[in-house]
Structure 1
Amino acid sequence: MKKLMCYCLVLFACSLGYAQSLVGAWEATMEKDGRTLRNVVMFSASHQVATSYDAETGAFVGTNGGSWSLADNSLTETVEFDFKQPERVGTTSSFEIVLTENELKLKGADTVWKRLDDGSPGDLDGAWLISGRMRDGEIQKRDTNRPRKTMKILSGTRFQWIAYNTETKEFMGTGGGTYTTVDGKYTEHIEFFSRDNARVGASLEFNYELKEGDWHHSGLSSKGKPIYEVWSLR
């Protein structure tokens, strides 16, 4: 009996390790209509986002994502948002992948995704939903189960926020790029922004602190207004 239990634990550990090897950020580039598109996909432990934008100008092309799971080499995704095809929201699909330590591809496809990071070195790797804001000196909580969501997915070096509604399938906006967490300072370097290309190239610095598992985020917004937000892991 003990041998059987040990064997099962080994199998579980191996499968968990394989699933976790997807966690982090991956990149592929492609040429289309005379320009180079940068395609980045990020996997947290439970959610993923894939985004395409012009590698030179940062002009936004599209994004989609949702929850994911991996069984052997079969990747299953349930769509929560899709900029180009909102009708896909709520649907689930599975496809086979070929995965090595530093390369990822769909079985039978030519595009190869190269690993950018494995969830480190940044402190905020994961999928986060905004769960509160400071108003009049008090933190007002927000229901993260409602259809209207603002999510941030971060790998070890990259971030992306997405605003969407799973009930109406509406997509409101997104932006992302790279980030660092150093000495209590969270700094974003924007590489794409769906609402305004003029934001591309900007850097924003905030204070951050992890309290009881929540991410407390404060400073000045891109418009110079004070903000204090609380984000909770999914």
Structure 2
Amino acid sequence: MRNTIILVLLIICSISCAVAQNPTGVYIATNNNDKHLLLIADGYITHTIFSASEYKNTQGGTYKIANNELVVNCEFDDKNPSNIGKEHHFPIRFESETLYLDNTPFQKQAKSKQDLDGLWRITGRQNNQTVNTIKRADRKTIKLLVDGYFQWIAINPIEKGFYGTGGGKYTFQNRNYQENILFFSRDNNRVGATLNFSGEIKNNEWHHSGKSSKGDPIYEIWSRDN
């Protein structure tokens, strides 16, 4: 009996440690009318605050978990740019499907793994029928997708520049990519819009085409950035 109890405890500990080391997923906390959305995948984390009608702010960067702390190397923070480039430590713990971050409970959302899940960076864009390569530089546009949620962010961490973000829910099936916008820093009136695109992964690159939120035709190439 004693050996059985020890075995069960070891299994529980191993599961907890595995979750702590790989917290990939979507987590949501609610404060009055505001939603706090955490997206975690490919060693990257974003935290965005928004309501049904208003975008509030966003921050994020690369992360690791050590000694029961979430350690974030901040790449963007549109509310407090002085945080960019610094390492920030937050107490973290996991209890079943709840992530406690700095004692705030975030509920893990249902898994909905899709082929586009992960961290991407735009590396090509078509202009006048020609696809031009976007060289990797300090300024970048990245996109984090995980479990049916997405967020794009245009930033320059070196100059502490922030140029916009948007996000919400997405689906990717049979080369059809659809976004449902939950927040958009440039125009709150875009919240609730549904955008449809064509999407295809070729040679580990995501070819993305359709019309932008403004109705302009686009053809983009995204590469994994992990």
Q: TM-score range by the shorter chain?
A: 0.7 to 0.9
In 1, Cα distance between the equivalents of 2:67 and 2:144? 24
Show the 5 A alignment for 1:126-137: 126-137=118-129
In 2, Cα distance between the equivalents of 1:207 and 1:131? 17
* 3-state secondary structure, aligned to 2:28: strand
* 3-state secondary structure, aligned to 2:109: strand
Amino acid at match of 1:23: T
In 2, Cα distance between the equivalents of 1:101 and 1:141? 44
Q: Structure 1 residue 14: deviation in Å?
A: 8.7
1:68 aligns with 2:70: no
In 2, Cα distance between the equivalents of 1:199 and 1:52? 16
Amino acid at match of 1:224: G
Match for residue 108 of structure 2? Answer: 115
Unaligned runs of at least 5 residues, structure 2: 1-13
Show the 5 A alignment for 1:165-204: 165-204=156-195
Describe the shift of the 1:104–1:141 C-alpha distance in structure 2 as closer, same or farther (beyond 3 A). Answer: same
In 2, Cα distance between the equivalents of 1:106 and 1:174? 23
Q: Structure 1 residue 85: deviation in Å?
A: 0.4
* 3-state secondary structure, aligned to 1:112: strand
Describe the superposition over 1:154-194 as per-residue Cα deviations: whole angstroms up to 9, x where unpaired. Answer: 11110111111112112111111101112110000001111
Q: CA RMSD in A?
A: 2.1
**Residue-pair matches, total:** 213
Match for residue 26 of structure 1? Answer: 27
In 1, Cα distance between the equivalents of 2:15 and 2:98? 21
In 2, Cα distance between the equivalents of 1:13 and 1:192? 34
Q: Say if 1:117 and 1:157, in contact at 8 Å, map to a contact too.
A: no
Q: TM-score, normalised by structure 2?
A: 0.87
Identity %: 39
In 2, Cα distance between the equivalents of 1:105 and 1:15? 15
Q: Structure 1 residue 123: deviation in Å?
A: 2.1
Q: Say if 1:117 and 1:155, in contact at 8 Å, map to a contact too.
A: no
In 1, Cα distance between the equivalents of 2:213 and 2:19? 39
Q: Say if 2:16 and 2:94, in contact at 8 Å, map to a contact too.
A: no
**Aligned counterpart for 2:140 among listed residues 133, 146, 149:** 149
Q: Structure 1 residue 77: deviation in Å?
A: 0.6
Q: Say if 1:15 and 1:72, in contact at 8 Å, map to a contact too.
A: no
Show the 5 A alignment for 1:3-152: 18-20=20-22, 22-31=23-32, 36-54=33-51, 56-57=52-53, 59-71=54-66, 73-106=68-101, 109=103, 111-118=104-111, 120-144=112-136, 146-152=137-143
Amino acid at match of 1:187: Q
Amino acid at match of 1:41: L
* 3-state secondary structure, aligned to 2:82: helix
Match for residue 8 of structure 1? Answer: none
Amino acid at match of 1:190: I
In 1, Cα distance between the equivalents of 2:199 and 2:157? 28
